[in-house]
Chain A
């Protein structure tokens, strides 16, 4: 047992020590539909796109299901977090409707 043997036990304890509550950074995202609607939303890194859409819908007055967020031709999917899409603070997203 000279070298570091990674046993299942060590992996488990390592993982346990790393698991913290998901703490995201607060970022502000701008959604623009180029037709007059511009919405600034404060949200967290770890929020999903679905949550972002709900926040936008609450501010805008449409339904969350009607909103589509894009960046050029990449349509953002509802279940992926902003962090994973690398959406940073101040970034502008395109707002389309379904």
Chain B
């Protein structure tokens, strides 16, 4: 009786809202004492009081997988189905972070795609710590923005399968959503401008070669997440080195050092003067072109494309020298074959080979022969 959904509630994604939680987990929640004692006869107002008392979030824990109070409250919200305004109030409130997270989770489960992105993305700027209960019962530290990231990118969180939402770039191309503006955008633009000043001097030297490269670049690929862009950026060693040195040190010294550094690297890779210069020019043109375009997205795409193109073109000198090239490719193939054998996936018995393949994909050592 007490577990029936409010008859006035709308169906969510074509089903009873409580069915968003799987059967087994649902019955576990119904049998839990927190649900029976605290969640009986809750309304939207009294739910807020219970939510303020939360001090950790999580899914199920322990050997028999007990649900956390957070789960029970999510279930209660699904049962009573509060108004959207109330949920947005939950999310907007700054004082109680667990109330915020509860609202965000509920919205992720029940809201439309546009709503989800619209209301959850501002929470990326919330850096507060959260306590999360893991499966084995221990607590771990996480942050609000990490959790929001999980909600928006993964399809499973807190033991609930999150409903599928459209990708951000789909909504952007439909026009229903604006392209994402990060809070760090202003900081990035400042640094871009500083870099541009540094690189103007260097750019004057290279002149026409740069333009050819610029034109021949392939158009960037669409990307839907800023995160990937940023991680690309930070992973690129040269970008970091360029930024660090350009800002702090003397420009001439910087250029000399860069040239030497690239030369040493290029000698290893190419061993050719022409390639070395092209490499240097390419790197500089990339950082210059980054500052040119105002749209961050294009910038990120171009950088990603160039980054990839640089590596791709680094293979071309090898292919030119046929004797060296083929020998190198052969030795590479032999190495790969040897690595496979260590993995155990080459075992004569197909069953064991199959098992070893699965183990390798999971990160376990192969079976002992």
Contacts and interface: CB of A to CB of B under 8 A. Distances in A.
Interface of A: 23-26, 41-44, 47, 51, 54-55, 58-59, 63, 65, 68, 75, 77-79, 97-98
B367 A98 contact: no
Contacts, number: 45
B64 A51 contact: no
B175 interface: no
A44 B368 contact: yes
Interface stretch (B89-97, B139-147, B304-312, B353-361): B353-361
B65 A26 contact: no
A78 B351 contact: no
A64 to B, nearest CB: 9
Interface of B: 24-25, 60, 63-65, 135-136, 156, 159, 351-352, 355, 358-359, 361-362, 364, 367-368
B362 A55 contact: yes
Contacts of B362: 51, 54-55, 58
Contacts of A79: 136
A58 B361 contact: yes
Contacts of B25: 98
Contact of A65 (B159, B355, B368): B159
A22 B284 CA distance: 51
A78 B135 contact: yes
A42 B351 contact: yes
Nearest to A64: B362
Contact of B63 (A24, A41, A75): A75
Contacts of B64: 75
A65 B63 CA distance: 11
A80 B159 CA distance: 22
B367 A51 contact: no
Contact of B24 (A25, A41, A98): A98
Contacts of B351: 42
Contacts of A25: 368
A68 B367 contact: no
B156 A63 contact: yes
A50 B64 CA distance: 15
B358 A58 contact: yes
B65 A68 contact: yes
A68 B159 CA distance: 14
Given A41-B355, A98-B60, 17 more contacts: A23-B368, A26-B367, A26-B368, A42-B352, A42-B367, A43-B355, A43-B367, A44-B367, A54-B364, A55-B355, A55-B364, A58-B358, A65-B159, A68-B65, A77-B136, A78-B135, A98-B159
A16 to B, nearest CB: 22
Contacts of A58: 358, 361-362
A23 B32 CA distance: 43
A56 to B, nearest CB: 10
